[in-house]
Amino acid sequence: MDIKGSAAIVTGGAGGLGEATVRRLVAEGASVVIADLAKEKGEALASELGSSVAFVETDVTSEDSVNSALDKAASFGPVRIAVAVHGGFGGGGRTLKSDGIPHSLDDFQKTIDHYLVGTFNVLRLSSAAISKSEPLESGERGVIINTASIAGYEGTIGQVAYAAAKGGVIGMTLTAARDLAVVGVRVLTIAPGTFMTPAYGMPAEMLEEMWGPVVPFPKRMGQPAEYAQLVQSMIENQYLNGEVIRLDGAIRFGPKSPR
Ligand SMILES: NC(=O)c1ccc[n+]([C@@H]2O[C@H](COP(=O)([O-])OP(=O)(O)OC[C@H]3O[C@@H](n4cnc5c(N)ncnc54)[C@H](O)[C@@H]3O)[C@@H](O)[C@H]2O)c1
């Protein structure tokens, strides 16, 4: 599908992977709504990128909020692209702590709510918005891209809630693609390895030192632009559907994070 002329929303569009995605989609000719909670950063990015970009303060877990972002996207043109790449929510911990205290159920639920329910909320509401766009000649109406993590396959110790949430995103990809085939909407998921973004809250040099040597090849962290490049390929290659693609330099997490 051509990116040019499509309207898109990017949840978490003011974050590390999200900003790179917004920049890439705009460069390829899309109009983009940055749907994020980070008002200052989102507005600054929107005003830098010009009139085909808007910021809408959005909480992915709220129906009204996501619909407002989609309405804004629809004001730009036919909505055909949704990329769910929000993140930044903590909530880690072992299933059973060394002092015998079990994982907080509340923290587990909050993590699932943010990463899995939030992603599904974006998926279901975007599918409704995209289904209202006229089909292209090929019958295609649009593409929805979710973001999982390789932790959804092999979470490290202390990541049980995050791993469950991301495993859920992986698990719903094929079924959602099957559900939405009837309206000509493809569904794909990217499972990133370790990408250099503000999410880690650490200086770049320290991060690279920690993760670079663990990646088989290339021996470095991923760059957000490489995530955005895969988003572009997923949109453009119509035969990709219902699939989760790892983007990770062949890294496989062991039981312990190098941190
Ligand atoms: N960076 C990595 O190495 C890596 C690896 C695997 C998976 N991921 C996944 O990629 C996604 C993005 O990660 P990132 O590194 O770009 O994170 P980031 O912290 O740089 O950006 C996340 C963005 O999401 C926004 N956000 C937070 N809560 C929100 C909400 N309720 N509604 C809308 N927006 C919200 C934040 O304001 C922020 O702008 C996350 O889902 C993360 O789990 C990242």
- pLDDT confidence band for 88 (50 / 70 / 90): confident
Q: How far apart are the first and last CA of the chain?
A: 40
Mutation probe of ligand 1 site: the residue of 33, 37, 40, 189 with most atoms within 8 A of C-beta: 37
Calculate what percentage of the chain has a pLDDT beyond 70: 99
CATH 3.40.50.2300 is the classification of domain 7-246 = no
User: In this structure, how many other beta carbons lie within 10 angstroms of the beta carbon of residue 126?
Assistant: 31
* Domain ranges, ordered by start, for the chain: 7-246
Q: What is the DSSP string of 198-242?
A: GGG-S-HHHHHHHHGGGSSSSSSPBPHHHHHHHHHHHHH-TT--S
Q: State phi, psi for 231 to the nearest 5 degrees.
A: -55, -45
- Is residue 162 annotated as a catalytic residue, yes or no? yes
> What 3-state DSSP class applies to 118?
helix
**What atom of ligand 1 comes closest to residue 194's alpha carbon?**
3
Q: Is 173 left (phi over 0), alpha (psi -120 to 50) or beta?
A: alpha
Name all residues whose Cβ lies below 6 A of ligand 1.
11-12, 14-18, 36-38, 58-61, 85-89, 118, 147, 149, 192, 194-195, 197-199
Q: Catalytic: which of 115, 153, 162, 200?
A: 162
User: In this structure, how many other beta carbons lie within 10 angstroms of the beta carbon of residue 179?
Assistant: 15
Question: Using CB atoms within 10 A of its CB, is residue 81 exposed (0-12), middle (13-18) or buried (19+)?
Answer: buried
- pLDDT confidence band for 178 (50 / 70 / 90): very high
**pLDDT tens digits for 3-48?**
999 999 999 999 999 999 999 999 999 999 999 999 999 999 999 9
**pLDDT tens digits for 218-259?**
999 999 999 999 999 999 999 999 999 999 999 999 999 886
Mutation probe of ligand 1 site: the residue of 9, 10, 17, 120 with most atoms within 8 A of C-beta: 17
Ligand 1: centre distance to CA 15 (Å): 6
Q: Whole-prediction pTM value? A: 0.98
Classify residue 151 by its DSSP letter.
H
Q: Span 58-65, mean pLDDT?
A: 98
Q: State phi, psi for 169 to the nearest 5 degrees.
A: -65, -40
**What atom of ligand 1 comes closest to residue 151's alpha carbon?**
6
Mutation probe of ligand 1 site: the residue of 9, 36, 60 with most atoms within 8 A of C-beta: 36
Q: What pLDDT sits at residue 91?
A: 65
* 36 contacts 42 by C-beta, under 8 angstroms: yes
Q: What pLDDT sits at residue 257?
A: 86
Q: What pLDDT sits at residue 146?
A: 99
Ligand 1: centre distance to CA 178 (Å): 26
